[in-house]
Structure 1
Amino acid sequence: MSPRVVLVGPPGAGKTTVAAELGRRLGVAVRDTDADVEAREAMTVQDVFVTHGEARFRELERDAVREALSTHDGVLALGGGAVTTDAVRRSLDGHRVVFLDVSLTESAARVGLGTSRPLLLGNVRGTLKKLMDDRRPLYTQVATLTVVTDGLSPEQVADHILTELGETT
């Protein structure tokens, strides 16, 4: 069993929204590894960060990604930082991975300043820039397809992904 498509990208790229659109069109279940971690720990991602720290969150995330890759056959959305873990990047090898890329301006507008994302507290725009600069090579490394989402609706992004992957709905 393997996901039809795995979505990766920075905060604000549209992973959750596009995953839902792809799942609807393909008639398959959608899974989000952040939601898997939250269900397992019975707390939000932000609370996991605060209570246990980023290192523990990344371990939980790694386990959630591995499990989802081997048991889920729908659309899978990974948390924005999942690719920072070597084991996650290795686990993605051989899967259809779509990097949803987004500009800093668009990401900041989508994420907003009142974010509940634990790594974006404080200077949201500056932190986003650093995260995107650090992670972009990792997203590119694991991707089989890159789609820039700036100015596109989730439906347009899904159209592009389905066309490029040769999927019909």
Structure 2
Amino acid sequence: MTSPRVVLIGPPGSGKSTVGRLLAGLLGTGFRDTDADVEAAAGKAVADIFVEDGEERFRELEADAVRGALAGHGGVLALGGGAVLDPRTQELLAGHPVAYLRVGLADAVARVGLGSARPLLVLNPRSRLKALMEERRPVYERLATLTVETGGRTPDEVAAEIAKGLPA
């Protein structure tokens, strides 16, 4: 069974996809994003899944995508921001190197953009993002084997710190 070199977790705007691609390049391995896996499985964008099928259906697809990726991807794996809320996903992450990309609200808002197509941030996006970050922070911190601050740093700097912090 193949296992990821590292799993990236963090809120929307923390840089999981951007840093993940850079990190995969540094490690000479592949990159996989479970949101992209969900979109491929559903045949539509995450935002459309939320609108047409509901958050519950999205979370089911997401849990399946995470389970498959953890069992079959040997590179860098980025999870959607809310994937870690599923208790089964939390159990599956045990024993994997997990890097939490910690980001401040101002940086997250700047990266996500307040007019973005992120379904959980539609109404009052700044306030909603703040609430999501506060609600999920303890889960991210508990699951992380490595925490990396992203504020005021380039994605290359963040990727390099993660690479240095990984087990050989």
Residue equivalent to 2:76: 75
Shift of the alpha carbon at 1:122?
A: 1.9
Residue equivalent to 1:128: 129
Matches within 5 A, 1:18-167: 18-166=19-167
Q: Percent identity?
A: 56
SS at match of 2:131: helix
Query: Gaps spanning 5+ residues in structure 2: where?
Result: none
SS at match of 1:116: coil
Deviations 1:46-73 (A, max 9, x none): 0111111111111110010000000000
How many residue pairs get matched?
167
Shift of the alpha carbon at 1:123?
A: 0.9
Amino acid at match of 1:18: V
SS at match of 1:3: coil
Conserved? CA contact 2:26–2:163, under 8 Å: no
Conserved? CA contact 2:27–2:163, under 8 Å: no
Amino acid at match of 1:10: P
Query: Gaps spanning 5+ residues in structure 1: where?
Result: none
Amino acid at match of 2:147: T
- TM-score (structure 2 length as normaliser): 0.97
Q: Does 1:11 align with 2:9?
A: no
SS at match of 2:11: coil
In angstroms, what is the RMSD of aligned CA positions? 0.8
Deviations 1:57-101 (A, max 9, x none): 111100100000000000000000101111111110110000001
What is the CA–CA distance in structure 2 between the aligned matches of 1:57 and 1:86, rounded to whole Å?
16
SS at match of 2:36: helix
- TM-score (structure 1 length as normaliser): 0.97
SS at match of 1:40: helix
